[in-house]
Structure formats: structure tokens, C-alpha cells
Structure 1
């Protein structure tokens, strides 16, 4: 086994990528990551953003694909929705891999 020098350890620590934040809530992502298309694929969207599974379900519980197509990549429009804002304040202190049932879609 080769010896490691102190400066080699520092390089290894620097090589670790910083945590990626969730596109919707801004908390660091955990082990399970889903990808949300801000503009749905059915509406021609190609971009994908990393989100927690609970955040992804919340988006689709409150917005139809048509509405998401009109909003586009404007995450602030999603965050300003009253129910989503309430969810964001509730989930803010939860751990990255927190999971809970999500309300059914509003129709």
C-alpha cells in the first residue's frame, strides 16, 4: 500500500463536487434524484432540472402540462403559487432524502 502525502489528501477533498441544489426548493439533493422538464417533453421541452422526488410530485400535483408549458423555466412562478409556497416553507427544514405523501392533483 502506497503512502499518501498530506497535499494529496487536500487535492482529493478539493475534487469532490459541491452538493447540487434542488431546482424547486433549493435544498441539497440526497441519494434519490429525479429530473423535471420545466417545459414538458409533450410541449417540446428538452431541458431537465434535478429535483427531490417530493418536489417533483408537488409540481405535478399543482400544475398541468399545459400550465407548465406556459410558465416555462420560470421557477419563481412555480414558487409563488400559494400551495407550492406553503409546501416550500414546510419542507425547508427537512433532510435531503425526506419523503411523504403528496396531495392529489388539483383539478
Structure 2
């Protein structure tokens, strides 16, 4: 009997399967003492940094539910949900 294939690794932010390019996000930014990393799509990585300041990311840490509750980031997650794992588009800065 062949071994059961494991599910492909998924993006920490959007939960879609990862594509060819994988980046690693520090939930707590390195500038705020963070050491742990999570695998993410490049577009997800750029969008989380365009949406949140390092201070906000440090406060939210590993709480992906809180990240998704932000109106701009929540809309991004809903939009990206049906895209191919290697999908890419320009990222706009949203921070105020």
C-alpha cells in the first residue's frame, strides 16, 4: 500500500496551498524581538506589511483571526481566496 500523501503546506495568512515562491513572515517583527517565522505567499507577505505597522503586528502576534478582522486585510483575504497559489499582483500601501 503506498503511503498517504500529506496535505501540501499552506500559507499562514490566507490558508491557500503555497506555490513555488515562499517567504517567511515574523508574526512579531524582528525589530520587536520576534524570532519565530511562518510560511506565506509573497503577495500575502507584502499585503500584511502594507496594512499593519510593526507595532500593530507585535500586538497581534500569532492571532490570524485578529489580522483577518481588520477591514482592509479581511477584504484582501476574501479576494485572494480563489486565486492560484502562484498568483501575483501589485500591492498598494494601505497604512494610515
Please report the TM-score for the alignment, with normalisation by the length of structure 1: 0.84
Q: Where do 1:69-80 residues align within 5 Å?
A: 69-80=58-69
Among candidates 43, 50, 53, match of residue 39 of structure 2: 50
Q: For this pair of structures, how many residues does the alignment match?
A: 96
Q: What are structure 1's unaligned runs of at least 5 residues?
A: 1-6
Among candidates 27, 33, 42, match of residue 38 of structure 1: 27
1:105 deviates by 4.1
Question: Stretches of 4+ moved more than 3 A in 1?
Answer: none
CA distance in 2, matches of 1:90, 1:18: 23
Please report the TM-score for the alignment, with normalisation by the length of structure 2: 0.93
Bigger radius of gyration: 1
Among candidates 18, 28, 33, match of residue 7 of structure 2: 18
1:51 deviates by 0.4
Q: What are structure 2's unaligned runs of at least 5 residues?
A: none
Q: CA RMSD in A?
A: 1.2
CA deviations over 1:36-95 (Å, ceiling 9, x no partner):
000001111111000000000110001011111111111111111001111111111100
1:29 and 2:18 are equivalent in the alignment: yes
Looking at secondary structure, tell me which structure has more helix per residue. Answer: 1
